[in-house]
Amino acid sequence: AHGAAAAVLSPLWREFVRYHTSHAFFLEVLDLFEDPIRKQHGYLKISPDGVSRVLRDLRTQVRYTAGAAPGACDVTMDAQVGINTPVVGRPASVRGAHVDNPHEIYAALLYMRDERDTATGGALEVYRCTAGGGQVCRAYDAEERSARRAKVGYDVQFDPQTMETVASVPYKANTLIMFINSNQSFHGVTPR
């Protein structure tokens, strides 16, 4: 955490964010996923300064800090806090079928659901594209995406009719979901 956000975080949360944006944590991620990351993101072996490096030697810095200036590091680390707001009115999803920013190497979601939260839904769903033999799923263009958002009340990047749910992770406390990001890492959140 940096800037104004750091001022409102407790020391425990500051340490949580500090560690999960550290080089040590990056190395722990590689302990788990180095081979799939290398396979999916092979371009990482050549860093922005043109030097060929193995994944474990890549220079990491916290995103949006001076150390993360272009050319100063190879990988920027980020930790964000997202909140599922209380359910008011009809059930809705925070995000339909989508893929994350192509610049992300991996994503991790740690659910810390409040024990008083009795709403149903909010599960993370993992999808497989069923269009074009599973190879190509067309993303909505900006106009289609805006129209879809107005119709269903939440953002959807891909036509749900071209997606098949292959896994569902319930929204419950102390659940960690971690995956390698790619243009095929389709996922979304069920209405709650």
CA–CA separation, 176 vs 178, rounded Å? 6
Q: Does residue 133 belong to any structural domain of this protein?
A: yes
Sign, Cα dihedral of 29, 30, 36, 42: positive
- What tens digit of pLDDT does each residue of 10-58 get? 899 899 999 999 999 999 999 999 999 988 888 777 666 677 778 898 8
Using DSSP, state whether 184 is helix, strand or coil: coil
Residue 97 lies in a domain: no
Residues 126 and 182 placed together within one structural domain of the fold: yes
Return the pLDDT at 133: 60
Q: Is residue 19 part of a domain?
A: yes
Listed residue (57, 58, 106) closest to 78, CA to CA: 106
Task: Please check whether residue 28 lies inside any domain of the structure.
Answer: yes
Burial class (CB in 10 A: 0-12, 13-18, 19+), 156: buried
Q: Are residues 55 and 114 in the same domain?
A: no
Exposure string for 110-148, b = 16+ CB within 10 A, e = fewer: ebeeeeeeeeeebbbbbbebeeeeeeebeebeeeebeeb
179 and 110: one domain?
yes
Q: Is residue 99 part of a domain?
A: no
pLDDT in tens, 88-114: 777 777 788 889 988 899 999 999 999
**Pair 66, 121 in one domain:** no
- Name the average pLDDT for the chain: 86
Q: Are residues 21 and 60 in the same domain?
A: yes
**DSSP letter string over 106-131?**
EEEEEE---TT-------EEEEEE-G
Point out the domain boundary residue: 24, 59, 77.
77
Tell me 158's DSSP state: B
Does 70 share its domain with 142? no
Domain limits for position 52: 4-77
* Residue 1 pLDDT class (50, 70, 90 cuts): low
User: Cα separation of 41 and 95, whole Å?
Assistant: 25
Q: For the chain, how many structural domains are there in total? A: 2
Q: State pTM to two decimals.
A: 0.82
